[in-house]
Amino acid sequence: MVTPFIRPAASKIKTLHARVRAFYRTRRRDLPWRRTRDPYRILVSEVMLQQTQVDRVIPKYAAFLSRFPTLASLARARLAEVLRVWVGLGYNGRALRLWRCARTIARDHGGAVPSKLETLYELPGVGTYTAAAVAAFAFGKRVPVVDVNVRRVLSRTMTGRDDASAQEVARIARAALPRTGNACWTQGLMDIGARFCRPSPRCERCPLRATCAYAKHGAPPIRAARRARGTFVDSERYYRGRIVRLLCAKPSVALADLGRQVKERFDARDGPWLERIAHKLAREGLIRIDERRDRVRLA
């Protein structure tokens, strides 16, 4: 029987604040999106960082901003151009939604990224996390920002477990919201989550070790078993990626040739399901299929 979490001790939170802020002041990661407060650039970074590690985002972030330096430039670009820069980063739907997001902001918000949490949340591709991140990092808003790192760190330090529910962590995050310096607090938690408080924890050198309920008893991380994903190659996802990559490299392709061009050892039986994947991509808005002329291209 585990003691249910009631309310975090104020003194413990104060100590965490001090330690996290001290860590952030002296040992934070030097990341490109921390060198600007341009809301557009913050927004781009946050969308890129969705389910994507920092090290993989850094080069794409630079390339993207070099090609689309302002929100207006992104909003007036063709989606195909955006996809060509994005491809390789994964989750291509994010590029589509970021592009739509920029167009929505240009059309409905005078080209200025909204600062209000609820308004941000309305934008395509902006969910609970990203809305909070932009509000906090670009506009200094005092709102809880909970990503997977923050969740792990708060769960472990405050409950002694690494599996606190999202709702429970949300309560803790609200209770722990600092009066000032929310962005530094949050990003400090993220850095600690990435360097020490990882899924397999490295408590030995963690700056929160002395304050952490989890580090004390040192229980091994227990996490829910994930469903097997199978091999990625030859999965439907794999060929979605192949199709988008192919179309990034060519202006257009015949639908009848698509399968042969994305699949090794293509045979006639592969035609229908690869074509079905293409139609799904078209329905999502990533590619365009001209049935009459038998041509496929980026949207």
Partner DNA sequence: AAGTCGGGGCG
Partner DNA sequence: CGCCCAGACTT
Write out the DSSP string of 2-29: PPPP----HHHHHHHHHHHHHHHHHH--
Angstrom CA distances, 38 to 45, 208, 293, stand at 11, 31, 44
Q: Is residue 89 at the binding interface for DNA, with CB under 7 A as the rule?
A: yes
Each residue 125-144 as x (binds DNA by CB under 7 A) or -, in order, gives: xxxxxxx-x-----------
Q: Is residue 231 at the binding interface for DNA, with CB under 7 A as the rule?
A: yes
Q: Is residue 173 at the binding interface for DNA, with CB under 7 A as the rule?
A: no
Collapsing DSSP to helix, strand or coil, 170 comes out as helix
Provide the token pair at 222.
């227990």
46 tagged catalytic: yes
Q: Is residue 58 at the binding interface for DNA, with CB under 7 A as the rule?
A: no
Each residue 256-275 as x (binds DNA by CB under 7 A) or -, in order, gives: --------------------
Q: Is residue 193 at the binding interface for DNA, with CB under 7 A as the rule?
A: yes
Q: Which residues lie below 8 Å from residue 142, measured CB to CB, with a gap of 6+?
A: 136, 177, 178, 179, 182
Q: Is residue 104 at the binding interface for DNA, with CB under 7 A as the rule?
A: no
Contact with DNA (CB under 7 A): which of 15, 38, 54, 70?
54
Of the ranges 4-12, 44-52, 210-218, 252-260, which one interacts with DNA (CB under 7 A)? Answer: 44-52
Q: Is residue 87 at the binding interface for DNA, with CB under 7 A as the rule?
A: yes
d(C-alpha 128, C-alpha 166), whole Å: 12
Collapsing DSSP to helix, strand or coil, 218 comes out as coil
Helix and strand numbers (H, E) in the chain are 15, 3
Collapsing DSSP to helix, strand or coil, 200 comes out as coil
Tell me, by CB under 7 A, how many residues bind DNA.
60
The catalytic residues are 46
Residues near DNA, by CB under 7 A = 31, 33-34, 45-46, 49-56, 87-93, 97, 124-131, 133, 147-149, 152, 187, 190-191, 193-194, 198-200, 223, 225-232, 236-238, 240-242, 244-245, 280
